[in-house]
Structure 1
């Protein structure tokens, strides 16, 4: 049956505006999902930054074993880790704490910082890394 000017098919009056209502229900859920994904990505990026900075600091601290005063390396390694984390970005108020245990031959570095998330709030990120202290030991066998 052809439609004449001014005539609409049956049932369209009842469905008028349903797409606007559907959009108003789905849009907030969809936007919340998108912002949650963005926040999770930023958090994991900050966590990865802290982990990389801790590894850099431990890599530097491992060299302390060949020095007569291994504790002098600690402050330099903490500065190195802090600078590395700030250069990579997304971390604020970065602090690094290094430890050298000569008796067990282990070094560790803890990096702590905060990340600002788009939906509000600061989240603290803390990562650590541990490694073996490099120490040179001469040949203990008698010479041939």
Structure 2
């Protein structure tokens, strides 16, 4: 059976395409952008964990340098731009916080990433 479009429906396919494709592209770019942000968040968390692990073994110091070394070894700046790495030492704990911004698909748009990790300071005592 052959169907023939009525004259009142001419151009409806073009109109559907004009409305549909921008929504499809927005959905695709949104998914890719969310993936980039999630990956940058995981990299920042891994750097914070590496830093806090190193600092907890060395009386609460050296975490900032270890987190920076981890970021330099794992990313070339294409995943995230590191803004600051901070180390805070309390009486029994140490916290390393890595902040920066994720790579974006939209020029000029900045998506901040901040992750921190806390661990107890390990103190060794002689028996």
Question: Does structure 1 residue 81 correspond to structure 2 residue 70?
Answer: no
Q: SS at 1:85's partner residue?
A: helix
Query: 1:26-61: per-residue Cα shift (whole Å, max 9, x none)?
Result: 111111111111111111111111100000000100
Of 64, 83, 91, the residue aligned with 2:80 is 91
Kindly tell me the number of residue pairs found equivalent between the two proteins: 123
Consecutive unaligned residues of structure 2, counting only runs of 5 or more, are: none
Consecutive unaligned residues of structure 1, counting only runs of 5 or more, are: 1-7, 140-144
Deviation at 1:86, TM superposition (A): 3.6
In structure 1, the partner of 2:24 is 30
**Highest Rg: 1 or 2?**
1
How does the TM-score come out when normalised to structure 2? 0.83
Compared CA separation, residues 9 and 118, structure 1 to 2 (3 A): closer
Q: Aligned partners of 1:10, 1:33: CA distance in 2, in Å? A: 33
Q: Aligned partners of 1:30, 1:9: CA distance in 2, in Å? A: 28
How does the TM-score come out when normalised to structure 1? 0.74
Deviation at 1:107, TM superposition (A): 1.0
Moved runs in structure 1, 4+ residues, more than 2 A? 8-17, 85-89
Compared CA separation, residues 9 and 107, structure 1 to 2 (3 A): closer
